[in-house]
Structure 1
C-alpha cells in the first residue's frame, strides 16, 4: 500500500552576515561594531546556521529603503549567489519595509539580529513559562512587521525565524495575533502572581535570595552547578540555559540560602524579549544580593559589564547589593588577572577551583550577615525562636529564667524585617536588659 505521508526536510540555513557601521557607532567605540559582528556569527552558529561569509559597510546613515546602500545591496547579492546562500542575516534590527525590499531584491530569507535571538530562545525554552514568554516576544516583534514579511510568511521552508509560534503564524492576521498576545499576557500574569506568592513566602520564612546575573556565556550555570551540585545544563555556547534554576546553598556558618541562575544578557537584547521575560528577570530585582558573573577572559569584558548594568538599571535592580565575580581567571594571562580587582565587592575566581568557591560563599555570608544583636524571647515562643534561627546566624544562646537570650548576626535589612515580624506577635513587653538587648 502506498503511503500518503510526505516528509518535508527543512533546508539548513546557509547565510551571509551583514553589519552597518554609522559614524555614531564609530565615535562610541571603534571595536564594538567588529565585536558585535563576531557575536552575530556565534549567535547564528548557535541557531544552527552555516555561516559562509561576513560583510560590513561604513555609511553616514541608514538607508530607509534598503538599510544598506544600493551598491552594497548589489555586492551582497553577488556574494550570496557566489556562496549559494539562502539567508542574509543583519546585525541590526530591520523594519518590515526593509525586509520586504531586501527579500524581493536578494531573493533569500532576511533575518535581523532580534529575530535571530528570538529564534535561539524558541529553541532553548523548555518550561511552560519560558515557552509562553518566547511566543509573546515573537508575536510582539511580528505584529508591526506583518506587512513587510513577504516571503517569510509565504514560504513553507520553516527553520530559522519560524520556530516556536513561527510555524503557526504563517496564515494569521493582525486580529488573531493581537488576541493571542492578550491571551499570553493573561497567562503570564498568572506566572507573575505565582512568583510573587513564592517571594512572599520566602520573605516570611526569612530565606535569603541570591541571584546570578551576567552576560551570556559568562559561566553562571557552571558556578551554580559547582556551588550547589545542581544538575543543570552547562555548555560553552550562547544562551545554553534559558529557564531560571533555583537551588539551595548552605553557607559556611550553616545558614541556607536560595541561589538562582537567571537568563544571560547580551548587547541589543530585544526590548520585546526584556518585556516578555520581566517576570523571570524580576528574580534579580527581588534578590537580597546579586552576584554579577563576568567573563574576565573576554576581550569585551568592559562592554559586557556595561550591558549587564544597563539591563539591571532598566529592571530597577541596580540598587540591590552586588558582588562582582571575575570568573574564568584560569583562562587569563598573569598580566590580565593582575589588572582585575580582588578587594571589597570584587573577587577573582575560577568556578572550577574549590578554594575560590569557598571565597565566594564567605563573601556571600559576609554581605548578607551583619551586626550582632541579642534578643530576649520567652521560652514558650518556639515559633519566634525558630524564626530568629532562620533569618540570622545564631552565635550564642542561653536560658535565663523563663526566657531565651539569643545572640544573632543580622544585616540592617534583615534586622528591620525581623523586627517587623516579631512586632506582629503583639507581645506586650518592653525593651530592657541593656542597650544591646532586644526584648520580645
Structure 2
C-alpha cells in the first residue's frame, strides 16, 4: 500500500535584509523542491514580511491564525518553515496550528536520511539529526510522536529520541567514535593514493547541478546515481579516469550544497568533505541556467573557502551551457563552459584539468639501463608511464613525473 503523502504549506518570514539566510521567492521555490524530494505535496505557501522575529511564534499570532484557517480548509497535515526554529517556537506553532511543524534544517536532514546508503553516510546523518534534536527535546512534539512515518520522521526513531539527554549524548559520542574509525580508514586510502602519485580532483557544487552526470560521462559508467531531485547523491563516489595519453587522475563526487545548509550537517560531513582539502584540484560545477546563479555561486564559494585550507586551485565549470551561457563577469582563465547532456566541450574540460594538475610535473623521454631495476620500480609506483619498450640498450620510456623523481632520472633523459 502506497504511503499517503503529507499535504504541506510552506511558510517563510522575510526580514527584508536580502541576505542568503533571508526568505525570498527563490528560497521558497527551493523549499518546495525539497518537500517534493522528501515525497510531500505542496498545497500552498505564505511569505510574511516581519520587522523582527516573534519570540513565541516567529511570524506573529495574527498570521498564525490566518494560516490555521488555510490549514483547516485545505486538509493540510504539515507546515514547513523556511527558517530554522527553536524547540519552543515549534511547540507553540504545533499547538496553534494543529499539525506537524518542521523547519528547513529538519527537512534537509530528513532527505539526507533517505539518501544515505553507506555506513559512513548513515552515521553522519544520524549524528547530525541527534545534534539538531538534542537542544529541542522539550519543544518538539507532534513530529516525534507521529506514527506511520512521513516527512521529518526518517532516521533515528522515537525510541532513540526519548527525553533522556544522557542517552542521546552517549549515542552522539558512540557515532563520533565510529566516524573517527571510518576516517582513519579513509586517511589510509588517501595516503596510499599520495604514495601512488595519482592526482585527485574533487567535484563540488550546488545540489542538482549535474555532478553525478559529469562523473558518469568522464568515467564512462552509470555507477553514480542520477536523478532530477535535490541531494540525489549523498555518499561520495570516486572513479579513476584514464585518458588517451595514459595520464590518470581520480575524480571524487561530493554531496551537493544548498542555501541555509545546517551548520551541524556540514560539521557531521566533515570527514567526507575532507576530500576537498586534500584534492590537487577542486572543480566547482555550476548550473549556468540557474536563475539564482549568483546566490548559488556565493554559497558554494563560501564553503570551498572554509574547507580549502591548503589553497588548492579551483576551476569553475559551468554546466548546461546548451540552455544558457553564464554571465561574462564569471568568465576568465579559470572557467570552462560545458554541457554534460550534449557532451559539449568535455575535451576542453579535460585539457584544462590536465593543464592544472600536471602543471608542476615534467614530461620527458629516458633510456633507463637494465641495471636500474630499482629505479624502474619507483617509476611504476610514482609516475605516469606514457610509453615503454625494452630495447638492446635499456628501457625506452616516456614518463610524467614530479621534481623529486625527475632529479633521479634526468641523467638518462634523451631528446
Distance in 2 of aligned mates of 1:108 and 1:298: 34
Partner of 1:54: 45
**Count of aligned residue pairs for this structure pair:** 411
Over residues 331-376 of structure 1, what are the superposed CA-to-partner deviations in whole Å (9 max), with x where a residue is unaligned? 22xxx45737565221110113445222222111111113536689
Q: Residue 338 of structure 2 corresponds to which residue in structure 1?
A: 349
Shift of 1:415: 3.0
The structure 2 residue matched to 1:322, chosen from 306, 314, 327, is: 314
Tell me the TM-score normalised to structure 1 length: 0.85
- The structure 2 residue matched to 1:128, chosen from 109, 113, 119, is 119
Q: Tell me the alpha carbon deviations over residues 210-244 of structure 1, each in whole angstroms, 9 at most, x when there is no partner.
A: 11110000100000011112222111110111111
- CA RMSD, 1 decimal: 3.0
2:301 to 293, 309, 313: 309
User: Is residue 205–residue 387 contact of structure 1 (8 Å, CA) maintained in 2?
Assistant: no
Partner of 1:19: 12
Q: CA separation of 1:341/1:309 partners in 2, compared to 1, >3 Å: closer, same or farther?
A: closer
Counterpart for residue 365 of structure 1 = 354
TM, length-normalised to structure 2 = 0.90
The answer to whether the aligner puts 1:204 opposite 2:195 as a matched pair is yes
Summarize the alignment of residues 127-146 of structure 1 with structure 2, pairs less than 5 Å apart. Answer: 127-146=118-137
The gaps in structure 1 that reach 5 residues or longer are 1-6, 423-430
Contact 1:290 1:322 in 2 (8 A): yes
Equivalent position of 2:156 in the other structure: 165
Shift of 1:156: 2.5
Structure 2 CA distance for aligned equivalents of residues 284 and 321 of structure 1: 11
Cα deviation, 1:160-193, whole Å, max 9, x if unaligned, reads 1111113443435211111110100000001100
2:181 aligned with 1:181: no
What CA distance in whole angstroms lies between the structure 2 residues aligned with 1:161 and 1:206?
44
State the distance in 2 between where 1:170 and 1:31 align. Answer: 30
Distance 1:318 1:310, change over 3 A: farther
Structure 1 residue aligned with 2:233: 241
- Partner residue in 2 for 1:266: 258
Return 5+ residue gaps in structure 2 as ranges: none
- Please say if residues 144 and 158 of structure 2, whose CA atoms lie closer than 8 Å, have aligned partners that are also in contact: no
* Residue-by-residue CA offset, 1:95-130 (whole Å, 9 max, x unaligned): 011001111111110010000000000001111111
**Cα distance in structure 2, aligned partners of 1:211 and 1:119:** 26
CA contact under 8 A between 2:86 and 2:139: conserved in structure 1?
yes
Question: Is this contact kept in 1: 2:246–2:386, CA < 8 A?
Answer: no
- 1:115 aligned partner: 106
In 2, the alpha carbon distance for the partners of 1:55 and 1:384 equals 69
